[in-house]
A = this chain, B = another copy of it.
Amino acid sequence: MHVMVIGAAGMVGRKLVEKIAAQPGALGYDVEALTLVDVIAPPVPAQLASIASALALDLSEPGAAGKLVARRPDVVFHLAAIVSGEAEADFDLGYRVNLDGTRWLFEAIRQEGMTAPYKPRVIFASSIAVFGEPFPEKIGDEFFTTPLTSYGTQKAISELLLADYTRKGFFDGVGIRLPTICIRPGRPNKAASGFFSNILREPLAGQEAVLPVDESVRHWFASPRSAVGFFLHAARMDTARIGPRRNLTMPGLSALVGEEIAALGRIAGQKAVALIRREPDPVIRRIVAGWATDFDARRAGELGFKAESTFDEIIRIHIEDELKGNI
């Protein structure tokens, strides 16, 4: 099988590729070729050097999607996107990359199928940003998508396209609505959601972190390992079980910031907790107040997607995967 990862230099993309490198059977079939794509050439793990090629290519450039699809991958992971804050600040860029880029990919697949039979599986990274407040206490699988950001709008539109192209038989699509990924590895960033990870990752490494909201803030989480697991499961599952409603809210953990901190205390002690500095930020507080806090992701659960059920697990996964077991 030929597997293509678009957005392979991003956090989840890199981890997905690393997983395929570390566990060749992770997809449930042999990977004979791997094409890694991003706007900068993505890293190729040494174990994959013989089968992988890395391409620097912007999906939103005319002709780019056609070039990729001409390689006729059997499985396409589409994770490339302009992030939420940037898509909100630059309206044209967000629509060009997140909507047009995705549509051109889907359309290139359809066009390729007109030359000779072709029906890849397409796994698309969507987001809970497709939802907009006010929310019910738990957002069910049939709740409507009324995004309050351009990013969420672009993801919701891509979901609709994915379902229609799948319904018409042009490809076999699955949309994966990711929870907020926690603990994000790397350095603190300025994303409004960054603190959810910062307040765990930094203290685990002996560093200070800033908490800009109250401990009573609730949010919806899954680990990077779960995110990779969602994509792998979507690539190997029997999609006939999904039916025509192809976009799935992934399972996750609904937790309070206070529960994050309590789990940190249990695992790394009060010294770690003491590294969290409270600096209320009214702007971040207001942004976060508009985010979804809890879901009833029943369909994805029934279809075999799995996530963590405690923050202790989420922290332990970070320690295993990022800190080689050491804190």
Contact = CB atoms under 8 A, between A and B. Distances in A.
Contact of A146 (B110, B136, B161, B163): B163
The count of identical subunits is 2
A153 B162 CA distance: 10
Contact count band on A: 20 to 34
A143 B144 CA distance: 5
Contact of A142 (B91, B143, B160, B161): B143
B168 A163 contact: no
A25 interface: no
Contacts of A150: 164, 168
Nearest to A107: B95
A157 interface: yes
Contact of A153 (B144, B160, B245): B160
A132 B164 CA distance: 12
Contact of A147 (B145, B146, B164): B164
Contact of A160 (B91, B143, B145, B168): B145
Given A153-B160, A160-B153, A148 B132 contact: no
A242 B136 CA distance: 19
Contacts of A147: 160, 163-164
B145 A142 contact: no
Given A132-B244, A148-B244, A244-B132, A153 B142 contact: no
Given A145-B145, A146-B245, A153-B164, 15 more contacts: A91-B110, A132-B245, A142-B143, A143-B144, A144-B145, A146-B163, A147-B160, A147-B163, A147-B164, A148-B244, A150-B168, A153-B160, A153-B161, A157-B160, A160-B160
